[in-house]
Amino acid sequence: MSSNKTHHREKIAILFFLLFLAMTGLMGRLIFLMIFRSEHYSAMALDLHERERTIKAARGTIIDANGTVIATNRTVCTISVIHNQIRKADEVVAVLSKELGLQEDEVRKKVEKYSSREIIKTNVDKAMGDTIRSYHLDGVKVDEDYKRYYPYDTLASTVLGFTGGDNQGIIGLEVKYEQYLKGLNGKILTMSDAAGIEIENAAEDRIEPVAGQDLHISLDVNVQRYCEQAAYQVMEKKGAKRVSIIVMNPQNGEIMAMVNAPEFNLNDPFTLNADAGVPASDKEKQDLLNKMWRNPCINDTYEPGSTFKIVTAAAGLEAGVVKLDDHFSCPGFRVVEDRKIRCHKVGGHGSETFLQGMMNSCNPVLIDVGQRLGVDNYYKYFEQFGLKGKTGIDLPGEASTIMHKKDNMGLVELATVSFGQSFQITPLQLITTASAIINGGNRVTPHFGVKSVSTDGASVHEFTYPVSEGIISAQTSETMRYILEQVVAEGSGKRGQVDGYRVGGKTATSEKLPRSLKKYISSFIGFAPADNPQVIALITIDEPEGIYYGGTIAAPVIADIFKNILPYLGIEPTEEKSASAFRIYG
């Protein structure tokens, strides 16, 4: 009997010991959590009771060369609901569906969904947001936000680009300078009870947003608008598929205008242009939108045709294989290996100097210059002029030159390249290379961005761009300016003349692929003043109907643009003739 009692006492002692250990462990754990982990669990508890709402930062504006705002913001509202704070669900559903023009079933699903926050609608006009706020509905939140707004609708649409629903840049300058424009969002932190209901009179933490920086660009609204007007006029007159115009300062690469007609409405970028047709599917619509948003000046390549003779001439002069008074013979064609390559003048130009060959835009003369250079030398200058790479413009999606590999370039390919066929470049690459040839030999980087400035003006970031100096000599550059001035004064570019101004330039009429379609791109590149170029412009007219020669339909457009923008830019007219001041280098 006593042994049983002793056995029970041992069991009880063991039990008490185990309970003591358990209690000691629990107390130790509790002390550990209360002392050493208190900050962690306090933060978790705070997070559980805090509700966070974002305060959107205002996106930086985009400002043109004159200080005109061309991209800004409009205040809009985001309407949302918090389930645990709603007291009259039916009233909330009725008011929101009525005021926002939404289906009741759609609104009710979100109102009855148990979540921390459900967005009912974004980009609501501020007036409507104020109306909904005036109902004082528990659980309904009206937060102010920003929506991108473009005061000029279609102006420079493919250049500026637009933003998406989250106000982030999608294409154009909007996406290229996103890091400067976007700003830093703020926050509102409020306290709620265990049921998720906001506690009245509780302290509210607020982190203010930081607005994005303003982007100052070289684009000039007045020059852009005039160029767009000219582009639409010639597009309508010639029934063209598309017209692109670039106007740039050849001395520093600042772009004053870049037009791609037809442009699209930046305030409604997901609506197709009227001539785009009706898409059969969502995929087809997206394809059409992507096509509408493209910037052909930098995204698309084409055969430049005779405007590229500027490059062949500059390379020939720089290499010393040709002089202005060298004589050539043009019977209307040139035979290269087994190929008969024709001149645009079927009967030929007869005997002519190199200068006259350029003025006449004679293919055989430029073929001969290319043959004198040879494949190795021509390829060297092609690379030296920067034509193998990209221009480095501050816009996304720039296309590269499509050129024969050197090993695959025979005499026939050399001949066709010499007058601008059998390879492709972008319009921007052509005008950038031409700028280097006429500005003294410095290849500048074409660009729009000038500087970014914080809203308080305290921070200013000046953008800089690389310059490749001496791609040709100053003497060759001067000779090229003279040649191209004569092309406009007395040659194929006569329709590019502007009264009172010395203008240089080159025309082109290039046949699109496949040749059997007989579709053409008419173009003209011009610059002024010819002795000290301050403006260079390129127009490409895609698939004009009827007369399609660049000298006939493209050159007059640039002449008209120059007639209007040169005085505006403060470039004084002069009647001085180039021949009296120019020395022919022999």
Q: What is the DSSP letter of 460?
A: E
Going from the C-alpha of 91 to that of each of 88, 104, 441, the distances in angstroms are 6, 11, 73
Q: How many helices (H) and strands (E) does the chain have?
A: 20, 19
Closest CA to 192 of 142, 254, 138: 138
Map residue 143 onto helix, strand or coil. strand
Q: Quote the CA–CA distance of 403 and 264 in Å, as a whole number.
A: 32
Q: Which residues of 127-161 are buried (b: 16+ CB within 10 A; e: fewer)?
A: ebbeebeeeebebbbbbebbbbbbebebbbbbbbb
- Phi/psi for 219 (5° steps) reads -60, 135
Q: Are 376 and 384 in contact (CB under 8 A)?
A: no
299: amino acid identity, one letter: N
**Catalytic entry in 306, 418, 452, 510:** 306
Q: Quote the CA–CA distance of 427 and 393 in Å, as a whole number.
A: 12
Q: Is 306 a catalytic residue?
A: yes
Q: Quote the CA–CA distance of 290 and 300 in Å, as a whole number.
A: 13
Q: How far apart are the first and last CA of the chain?
A: 136
Paired strand residues for 334 = 341
Task: Please identify which residue in the block is written with the tokens 């007058």.
Answer: 419
Q: Quote the CA–CA distance of 329 and 312 in Å, as a whole number.
A: 18
- Phi/psi for 289 (5° steps) reads -65, -45
Closest CA to 285 of 300, 267, 269: 269
- Phi/psi for 480 (5° steps) reads -65, -40
- Phi/psi for 364 (5° steps) reads -55, -35
Going from the C-alpha of 426 to that of each of 15, 401, 525, the distances in angstroms are 89, 7, 13
Pairing verdict, β 350-353 and 339-342: unpaired
Going from the C-alpha of 199 to that of each of 50, 188, 191, 193, 242, the distances in angstroms are 10, 14, 6, 6, 61
Q: Quote the CA–CA distance of 386 and 327 in Å, as a whole number.
A: 30
Any idea which residues carry the catalytic annotation?
306
